[in-house]
Amino acid sequence: MLRTGTCSPYVGRFAPSPTGELHFGSLISAVASYLQAKSADGEWLIRIEDIDPPREVPGSARRILRDLRLFGMQSERPLVYQSERTAAYHQARDRLIESGKAFWCGCSRADLAGSGRYPGTCRNGIPKGKLPRSIRIRVDDRIVSFSDRLQGKLEENLQQTVGDFVIQRADGLPAYQLAVVVDDAYQGVTEVVRGMDLLESTARQIHLQRCLGLPTPVYAHHPIALGDDGRKLSKRYGSDPITALPHASALEMVLRFLGQSCPSGLSQGDLWLWAVENWKLSNIPPASRYNASTPQ
Ligand SMILES: [Zn+2]
């Protein structure tokens, strides 16, 4: 069911996975999506992407929400927890199977080892001797193109890059791509502002939206924080929460990272006022590097 009737046309979201603490990397996405929504006089929502229990850290959803609140950010609608949305994912999956757009796959990880993309083994039925394991969506030999507000025009031929991809995992859990697409539509999200590490998911999500007859939001992928060694900061410093810093200093660091030349030394409240007033998506550099050893 789609929610309609909101008074504001812009809906943005921040969708953390509860696999650790709020860190510099995730705070960048939270702040960027929040300011993009607020400067458009829109709504900002939080969705907890807790569909992967094996990866979850107990209590981290609660702590992420608490830390966001301390930074002054709260969802403007009731929170959506993906763990409570299984029925919607199943419904979408069933529609895709019934229309022939998705199919059961009997390949194990070992069967596919070494092949960068799915070779299409079970497209026309599971080979004899194999049992159904996962469900895959068919992709076409054609280009999916989209215009990212920060990264420009991008194109991908999914058949050449990933092949038919998984929408229900072998352990029965819905795949990330399906859950995101179903929920962005359910929440009426009009623009997705998130890190470049998710850029490679976008063509797959657009393909799923088209297969399900759902609208495609606008996308803006911001640079992610990398350490001196070029590794994603959240991986290295996942256990080193940004909340150890005074909130105003952390927020100032995030704004600078996002190319917003904010005045220094403001209180958190004044910094937000400045940021909403002066926010410019176009000031975000297409790629940038955060020097983890000497935070400024
Ligand atoms: Zn297969």
**What gap in Å lies between CA 94 and CA 107, rounded to an integer?**
20
86 C-alpha to center of ligand 1: Å? 24
- Ligand 1 center–CA 97 separation, angstroms: 15
Superfamily of segment(s) 11-85+187-283: HUPs (3.40.50.620)
Is the pLDDT at 190 greater than 80? The verdict is yes
Rounded distance from Cα 145 to ligand 1 centre (Å): 27
Greatest Cα-to-Cα distance within the chain, rounded to the nearest angstrom: 68
Q: Is the dihedral of CA 14, 20, 22, 24 positive or negative?
A: negative
Between the CA of 167 and the centroid of ligand 1 the distance, in Å, is 13
What is the secondary structure of the chain as a DSSP string?
------S-S-EEEE---SSS---HHHHHHHHHHHHHHHHTT-EEEEEE----GGG--TTHHHHHHHHHHHTT---SS--EEGGG-HHHHHHHHHHHHHTTSEEEE---HHHHTT-SS---TTTTSPPTT----EEEE---SSEEEEEETTTEEEEEEHHHHT-SEEEE-TTSPBPHHHHHHHHHHHTT--EEEEEGGGHHHHHHHHHHHHHHT-PPPEEEEE---B-TTS-BHHHHSTTS-GGGS-HHHHHHHHHHHTT--PPTT--HHHHHHHHHHH--GGGS-SS----TTS--
- With bands split at pLDDT 50, 70 and 90, how would you rate the model's confidence at 237? very low
Ligand 1 center–CA 49 separation, angstroms: 27
pLDDT of 291 > 80? The answer is: no
Q: Which residue has the higher pLDDT, 5 or 81?
A: 81
pLDDT for the residue numbered 239: 41
Q: Cα of 200 to ligand 1 centre, how many Å?
A: 22
Domains in the chain: boundaries = 11-85+187-283, 86-176
Q: Which CATH architecture has domain 86-176?
A: Alpha-Beta Complex (3.90)
CA of 181 to the centre of ligand 1 (A): 23
- Expressed in angstroms and rounded, the spacing between residue 72 Cα and the centre of ligand 1 is 47
What mean pLDDT do residues 278-282 have?
A: 97
Instruction: Tell me, in angstroms, the distance from the centre of ligand 1 to residue 164's CA.
Output: 9
Q: How confident is the model at residue 230, as a pLDDT?
A: 62
Q: Which residue bears the tokens 């810093």?
A: 245
Q: Answer whether residue 6 shows pLDDT above 70.
A: no
Q: For residue range 95-104, what is the model confidence (pLDDT) as tens digits?
A: 999 999 999 9
State how far the alpha carbon of 62 is from the alpha carbons of 67, 86, 142, 176, 294, in Å.
9, 21, 42, 21, 30
Distance, CA 206 to ligand 1 centroid (Å)? 23
Model confidence pLDDT, tens digit, residues 116-174: 899 999 999 999 999 999 999 999 999 999 999 999 999 999 999 999 999 999 999 99
Q: Angle, nearest 10°, between helix axes 24-39 and 247-257?
A: 80
Taking residues 260-276, what's their average pLDDT?
96
Closest CA relative to residue 17, chosen from 80, 54, 60? 60
Looking at residue 292, its pLDDT comes to: 40
Tokens of residue 67, six digits: 């830390």
| Pair of tokens at residue 232 | 């994603």
Would you say the pTM of this structure is higher than 0.85?
A: yes
Tokens of 139: 């992709």
Q: Say how many Å lie between the CA of residue 179 and the centre of ligand 1.
A: 21
CA of residue 259 to ligand 1 center, whole Å: 45
| Fold match flag (11-85+187-283 vs 86-176) | no
